[in-house]
Structure 1
Amino acid sequence: MSASYSDHNKPVHFKVTLATLGKIVCSLPIFATCFCVIWSVIFNFESSTKTHCRVPNFLPSISAAIGGFTPQRYVWRVCIALHCSPRFMVAVAYYSYHTSIHVGHRNELYKTLAALCTFLHICENLALLGLTCVSSTENHDLHEKFFILFMLCSLTYMLLTTYVFAWGRSANGRSILHTEMKSLRHKSSLFLFNISIFMFAVYLFFRHNAYCEPGAYSWFALCEYLIVISNVCFHSTMILDFNTYSMAVVNLEPLTARSSYLDV
């Protein structure tokens, strides 16, 4: 990539591969989740695991771990803010990635679904920012609405993206590449895992509220952790999808033109 720019007297001042960017972006929410949960267990155990049922629990929910105490609240908000910004760019990049392939007479439908994937990705990102900025202790109802929106957009995005990816990569008898097949397998497995854990978490949540069993809410919390991790892992498949792509800061003005300015 840099060679082509240099050939046109357009030197690259900064370049990062999207695979490297993806690793950084995906590591931030994983780190934030681990830090907030571990810190809450060590320093705020009783407060973070307490529920209205007043029964023993051994793990805090994510909402309690990220929003009820400091420094957890600040670590979570900083990490999510840093990781969300590049994700808006990735969401738009995926539209070009999907639509770079022509699938035949149903291409307009394919492009519409690709655009819907981008829209859902952006909505998921905004919902995550919302539930991050508004903690459950500050406004429980609004935090809950943001969480519901996040899960709806997340699950729909994962399902639709897997479908669009499989459709585009195998369209017109095209031979799917090894990295593309690997990415598709990961996407499919992570979506199935994510929705299965989510349904089990919903069951545990209602069971906890109905029967107030000791530890039930902690098992729900563990499911929450797995939902977050599998969601991040799904998005990390961008490392495979964009493994040959990079982002660069380039001076588009030809070197000869800049030299002439200096001569004057």
Structure 2
Amino acid sequence: MTRWLDGRPTATVPGDDRGLTLGDGHFTTMLVQQGGVVLWQRHQTRLAEANDRLGFAQQDWHQLEAEIQQASQGVELGCLRLTLTRGSAGRGYQGQWPAIPRRLLALSPFPSHYRQWQQQGIDAEVAELTLATGGPLVGLKTLGRLEQVLIKQEAASRNVDELLVCDGHGHLVEASAGNLFLVFADGTVVTPSLSECGIAGVMRAEVMALLAQSGLKVVERRVRVEELTDVAEAFVTNALMGVMPLRHIGEKRLNRQLADLLLESHQLWR
């Protein structure tokens, strides 16, 4: 893994950085393909919204884009994570508002198993853990991701590829690290509402836009977990995996027509 701190190559982050000590920051993970970041404008929009809501100053986007371009140069396929923190400070919660964000870029290899997963499909079950709802951080990809860490731990303990996660009221929200799309037996395409919890990923927005261009509307609504019995197809999306078809949810076998259409027609990202 290669790292840059505020545009300079480095292997370390200051120990008093508020991102480390308090989780005071946010991040996005980007797909690098043929020397450039895929869907950068969608990533930038989400970063700017998080800056506003967390009291970060809007950084020099031209400078940041130049740093991202430098980090991506010559990379055929990889993952680039951008982390923005409130920077260094003494102990305690009090910080600077608005803060000039500290920028940490980290380049790592693309997960090699994603391609095999796309070809074969993956198996999913419903998580026992649930997501908290409400609060001022709803929809923000902040540095505190302990819910997702515990969900991944549960998936490993159950030996399943993916878990679908509900809120405390029994509504489906998302997968462990991506958004969820469901195709019901009547052909309706639904993605769970994220008004109470969950993260609206850049690939979720891209898929919804592509389907709308094809004349297929995606319905955003609350989905009861019991409705999974009526689902004919399902897939998970995020910026790295693109579209990931689900082969099973529990014992239920699923088809993959719409997922394959997206993968083949729009190369997301076979």
- Where is the helix percentage greater, Structure 1 or Structure 2? 1
Give the structure-2-normalised TM-score: 0.20
Structure with higher Rg: it is 1
- Where is the strand percentage greater, Structure 1 or Structure 2? 2
